[in-house]
């Protein structure tokens, strides 16, 4: 039985690291003394023919071993690209909760055209469903071709994933480091659609 696909509803209410020997004891000959000294100073024999110690570097039996499941977790950090407008497409989206416990949509956009160091970069974008912020959801959906303004918008993930658009990227600082943030999503232009076609031509068959 096919899995029922989730349908999203959005209602636009915003309008927005030794001591020496005793005198009685005959002293040893100098040659013997030197020999004994040499024997004492000689380093322990090393068996170079044996197998290497394969346990070196391994934790002791009583040493704590840490294990965490990072399946599906990407390397941390935020990508940084020059500010500007970029041709992009929706790579993914999902509905969830913000750290503050508010409903929101999380979008993932992939840049499909531009310099090699920019093309292929993905950026995330969050749109809150709080009453005072719902206008941003409407604005984004409308840019992706989903009718939302002044109505109850019903759409599936497949209705927006893969859709081309233009994203406006601005610069900001996060924990003292420069990062890129999507400011706004716009409808695609003719050049955006051309970038999509060029992308299809690059796919090997």
DSSP 30-81: HHHHHHHHHHHHSPPP--TTSPP-TTTTPPPTTS-------TTPPP-S----
Beta strand pairing call for 152-156 and 164-174: unpaired
pTM flag (> 0.75): no
Query: Does the pLDDT value for residue 119 go beyond 50?
Result: yes
Residue where the block lists tokens 């500010």: 83
Burial of 73 by CB count in 10 Å (0-12 exposed, 13-18 middle, 19+ buried)? exposed
Quick one: pLDDT at residue 55?
Answer: 52
Q: Which CATH architecture has domain 80-201?
A: Beta Barrel (2.40)
SS3 51: coil
Burial label, 78 (beta-carbon count in 10 A; 0-12, 13-18, 19+): middle
- Average pLDDT of 165-172? 96
Give the model's confidence band at 165: pLDDT under 50 very low, under 70 low, under 90 confident, else very high. Answer: very high
pLDDT in the model for residue 124: 95
Distance CA 89, CA 144 (A): 9
Nearest to 172 by CA among 75, 76, 88, 81: 81
The pLDDT tens digits of the residues spanning 46-88 come to 555 555 555 555 555 666 676 666 554 445 556 889 999 999 9
pLDDT above 70 for 170: yes
């Amino acid at each position: 039985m096919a899995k029922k696909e989730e349908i999203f509803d959005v209602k636009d209410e915003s309008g927005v690291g030794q001591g020496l020997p005793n005198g009685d004891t005959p002293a040893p000959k100098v040659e013997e003394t030197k020999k004994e000294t040499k024997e004492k100073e000689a380093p322990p024999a090393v068996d170079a023919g044996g197998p290497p110690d394969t346990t070196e570097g391994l934790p002791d039996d009583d040493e704590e071993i840490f294990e965490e499941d990072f399946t599906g977790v990407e390397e941390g950090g935020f990508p940084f690209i020059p500010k500007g407008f970029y041709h992009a497409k929706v790579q993914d989206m999902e509905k969830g909760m913000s750290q503050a416990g508010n409903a929101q949509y999380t979008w993932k956009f992939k840049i499909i055209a531009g310099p090699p160091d920019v093309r292929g970069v993905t950026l995330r974008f969050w749109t809150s469903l709080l009453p005072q912020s719902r206008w941003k959801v409407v604005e984004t959906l409308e840019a992706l071709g989903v009718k939302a303004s002044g109505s109850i918008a019903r759409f599936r993930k497949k209705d927006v994933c893969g859709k081309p658009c233009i994203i406006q990227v601005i610069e900001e600082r996060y924990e003292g480091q420069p990062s890129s943030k999507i400011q706004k999503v716009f409808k695609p232009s003719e050049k955006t659609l051309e970038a999509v076609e060029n992308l299809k031509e690059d796919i090997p068959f």
